[in-house]
Amino acid sequence: MNNEEKRFNREEEDEDEESGRGREAWERTYADERSWESLQEDESGLLRPIDNKTLSHAQYRRRLRTATAARVQKGLIRYLYIIIDFSRAAAEMDYKPSRMVVVAKQVEAFVREFFDQNPLSQIGLVILKDGVAQCLTDLGGSPEAHIKALMGKLGTSGDASLQNGLDLVCDLLNQIPSYGHREVLILYSALSTCDPGDILETIQKCKASKIRCSVIGLSAELYICKHLCQETGGMYFVALMSLI
């Protein structure tokens, strides 16, 4: 190190000593630290040092509780309408003794199991026949009432109108509070739908109302049923065999 570098270093040291000469010892210790940023006020109003690790864990747990509570609130109560196709197609006997009997038995078993797993939820029944949709039972929590009403209305005739069924349940489910989960399950036997208007508009109306539609087909796969499930976030299955 040459003489010029030594002289330069001594000048820097002298400047540091002069800048710190006017401060107390504790002031010089914290002069270059923003120590107040590491403090926070607790519940009693006292200032305490921040534990960043503990703070980040607390924030994470708080966000997790909020997200979990929101999911539980939205999914707590389910409001489900079951649309049953009782058109002439339900009289087919590829399922023994007939599609209508098989569907009725499966709906009975489903309703009982649904209320066992979802005691706070509600179900309503809608049937399709003769080109119209009929509300068989309103939303309710009594499985026996739904089953009794269904077994008293067994019979097939006419064509099925998927649009009329969707329009009916959409209007009924729009009355449900925002915390309820709106669902539709369609048991469809026909190979077509006899509709009075544009069913695609009705599907978009169900989508806008956040109604999740699922379909179980008892014949071949239908594009309109598949499209309905895709648009509303539901599932589409074609039954391959009878379970009774």
Residues 30-53: what's their mean pLDDT?
Answer: 62
User: Which of 11-20, 204-213, 218-227 has the least mean pLDDT?
Assistant: 11-20
Indicate if the pLDDT at residue 12 is higher than 60.
Answer: no
> What's the pLDDT score for residue 232?
97
Question: Could you report the per-residue pLDDT of 77-89, keeping only the tens digit for each?
Answer: 999 999 999 999 9
What share of the chain in percent tops pLDDT 90?
Answer: 64
Q: Tell me whether residue 32 is exposed, middle or buried, using C-beta atoms within 10 angstroms of its C-beta: 0 to 12, 13 to 18, 19 or more.
A: exposed
Residue 74 vs residues 78, 136, 182, 184, 213: alpha-carbon distances, Å = 9, 27, 10, 17, 17
Residues 169-187: what's their mean pLDDT?
Answer: 94
Indicate if the pLDDT at residue 7 is higher than 70.
Answer: no
Indicate if the pLDDT at residue 148 is higher than 70.
Answer: yes
> What's the pLDDT score for residue 65?
72
Q: Measure CA 116 to chain center.
A: 20
Residue 150 and residue 144: Cα distance in Å, rounded?
10
Indicate if the pLDDT at residue 15 is higher than 70.
Answer: no
> What's the pLDDT score for residue 33?
57
Indicate if the pLDDT at residue 209 is higher than 70.
Answer: yes
Residue 226 vs residues 29, 187, 214, 217, 230: alpha-carbon distances, Å = 72, 13, 9, 10, 6
Q: Is the distance from CB of 153 to CB of 169 less than 8 angstroms?
A: no
- What is the residue-averaged pLDDT of the chain? 84
Domains along the chain with CATH numbers: 25-75 (no CATH), 78-238 (3.40.50.410)
Phi, psi of 77, rounded to the nearest 5 degrees = -115, 125
The strand pair at 212-217 and 47-49 is best described as: unpaired
> What's the pLDDT score for residue 55?
60
Give the pair of three-digit tokens for residue 57.
């864990």
> What's the pLDDT score for residue 243?
54
Indicate if the pLDDT at residue 68 is higher than 70.
Answer: no
Q: Which has more confidence, 179 or 4?
A: 179
Amino acid letter, 144:
E
Give the pair of three-digit tokens for residue 37.
């940023």
